[in-house]
Structure 1
């Protein structure tokens, strides 16, 4: 909160640095404002902040498993609704055959994260291929369709009534994390020319959550050229080179990939594990009290979670502490491996997320109880 009175203080037994050299027998709990950018307190507890034995009420940590979705919707706008608010809508979509129509989102920019599969995107601006791990960012109003060459599953993240931007990279400069020069844009190539036709074509337009259809006597993807500074772009998680520190566990905000209105999209990719003897080597316990945290687990072995596999989602509402599972905390601090092996997409939203029917139908209801066995505090060096 930018107007908060900042008066740093130290009381009792406390570390000299956040996330490092914790007092023996303690658990650090960060209470932070403005998504790790604002004022924060680091409280050293004798017990794990997530050591509850019961959880009552409708707002609680939740988890969902998208691998249990069986339906193959015939339209992007029929994708399974997962969660949303007035600024952000998240859906999960399976597509196995070429789209027989074009889609257009008139509510906001659409960000597609390709969980698996491969194929081609055709849009107003031309053609580009896609594969597992790609982000495809489609500006509001773009007409598009997918032609999968392999069954494809996609996490759809809509920036409702707003636009996506790249994060301000501050003193590390514009080329950190990924160089904007590597963002791919569609091309008017042979594949695009081959899809031109005089065949009647439908365009399904979503506006205020309702779908209307325009019918053209030809395929309106008929551009012969374009210029300007607005276009779809593509980047793969493999092109992301994360900020790192061997002496300090960086907050999730260091991994921001895209910024929407009142929410951010972050990408966690493999990185070296901290080697400083006193540094935390797992995500710290924290209460990010201004944001809900939605994480889609894409691939790998998830460092801070137990019983989570690719395709699952966790949702941690603002107001509740969360952090590594007990088993992950105990093993992570003594991890012998030298780097993480995980890829995940995190959506942090300033406005509360409302769980939708699609996610509720594939919920792991026991997730809230997965912290019941509180870990023993250990601040020993990694072996």
Structure 2
């Protein structure tokens, strides 16, 4: 796999990439040239996303008569199918269901936000996979998908090549890219952020400067690898919030060479280089942003993907966990491994929580008392990996999520024992 940057190229056969032109009169090896665009043609150069694919058959040959199929538990914004009282919410890990679940059958939507038709917002899903897709392919026309592996390892075969991910790694599949998802080690469980808006990109570092956070060189794109396979298979497309399926006579993963900047990629979250306060105060969580999906409003993200990884905490005379807060952004949070310092109990690997727009949250009673009275010596958070999908939109809980037995109905009680310490006669 190669690095994440402004442009890449890869070929599975020598000379398969045309030299000096994108669409020659005749392509090498009898291939077809096809452009895949993730932005309007006239987008500014810095925001223009496109790749040229040199494939055995053009995508118009990967087509047939589509028919609607059951969406299962996959939901798309806007989606209002249940009304829950406003409150911070948390779920224990959902066990992997029994039975045969391929990627498409194993999607369970937890929240939706915004409106997919307007290219704004997101959905947070869980995935459960107990068997590989065989002669099945999929692409999402509604948004790009970020896979956050939590348990088990996956192989994502894409038009651009193969991506393997394990827990603590993520893979991003752009809108319109065809995939087949296989198990490397299973069963597998994890999270997916379906991004309806602007594609994920690296955030600006601002005063931090040129280094730290997520470094561009650590993002990897696949090496070209094609399938020249004839035989019956199924292609499913998510378009307009609905799943559509057709039958094909050959694999659509037939790209022999490609070049451009619109491609799938992976990133190991353990490579994230955090920065933080080294004298006093707890810095804003924006310093933990790995990737961002920008909106039309500068500084206000459609989605921020934020990670809380291993790090040193050294601030003096400071309450070190996150402070209590109400936020205009809404936060879907998951835990891949370890313990999250603000919630030492009840929030466990595979679990997830939702703190919606302008609903209060923060450290539980135990975390507050410990952080308020602990000896403030240098402390290292070890073997932890929590993340947030944070969006400017309020997130709606699906009927499936609202009815899960793992919904912790007593979650708000984690703050019940916070005591009144105020005494006007004592500073």
Q: TM-score, normalised by structure 2?
A: 0.70
Change (3 A) 1:184 1:328: same
Asked if structure 2 preserves the Cα contact closer than 8 Å seen for 1:133 and 1:238, the reply is: yes
Pairwise CA distance, 1:173: 2.8
Q: Is residue 407 of structure 2 the alignment partner of residue 363 of structure 1?
A: yes
Q: 2:168 aligns with which of 126, 133, 136?
A: 133
Contact 2:277 2:315 in 1 (8 A): no
Alignment match, 1:284: 323
1:85 to 113, 131, 135: 113
Alignment of 1:1-383 (within 5 A): 58-71=85-98, 73-76=101-104, 78-86=106-114, 87-100=121-134, 101-151=136-186, 152-188=188-224, 192-193=225-226, 195-247=227-279, 248-260=281-293, 261=295, 262-276=302-316, 278-288=317-327, 290-305=328-343, 306-333=345-372, 334=374, 338-341=379-382, 342-360=384-402, 361=404, 362-375=406-419
Let me know the Cα RMSD of the aligned residues. 2.0
Q: 1:357 Cα deviation (Å)?
A: 2.4
Task: Output the CA distance in 2 between the equivalents of 1:93 and 1:259.
Answer: 22
5+ residue gaps in structure 2?
1-83, 115-120, 296-301, 423-427
Task: Give the drift of 1:252.
Answer: 1.1
What is aligned with 1:28?
none
1:377 CA displacement:
5.5
Structure 1 position 241, deviation (Å) = 0.9
Q: Any idea what SS the aligned residue of 1:272 has?
A: strand
Query: Once structures 1 and 2 are overlaid, which stretch shifts more, 254-263 or 226-235?
Result: 254-263
Q: Which runs of 5+ in 1 are unaligned?
A: 1-56, 379-383
Is 1:104–1:206's contact at 8 Å kept on the other side of the alignment?
A: yes
The offset of 1:91, in angstroms, is: 0.8
Q: State the Cα distance separating 1:65 from its structure 2 match.
A: 2.1
Decide which moves more: 144-153 or 72-81.
72-81
Measured in 2, the distance between the counterparts of 1:322 and 1:113 equals: 24
3-state SS in 1 of match to 2:414:
helix
Is the CA contact (8 Å cut-off) linking 1:83 and 1:90 kept in structure 2? yes
In 2, Cα distance between the equivalents of 1:246 and 1:92?
A: 36
Q: Structure with the greater relative contact order (CA < 8 A, sep ≥ 6): 1 or 2?
A: 1
Number of aligned pairs? Answer: 316
Q: TM-score, structure 1 length as denominator?
A: 0.78
Matches of 2:97 and 2:284 in 1, distance apart? 36
Q: Distance in 2 between matches of 1:337 and 1:329?
A: 18
Cα pair 2:312 2:378 within 8 Å, conserved: no
SS in 1 for 2:194: strand
Report the equivalent of 2:37. Answer: none
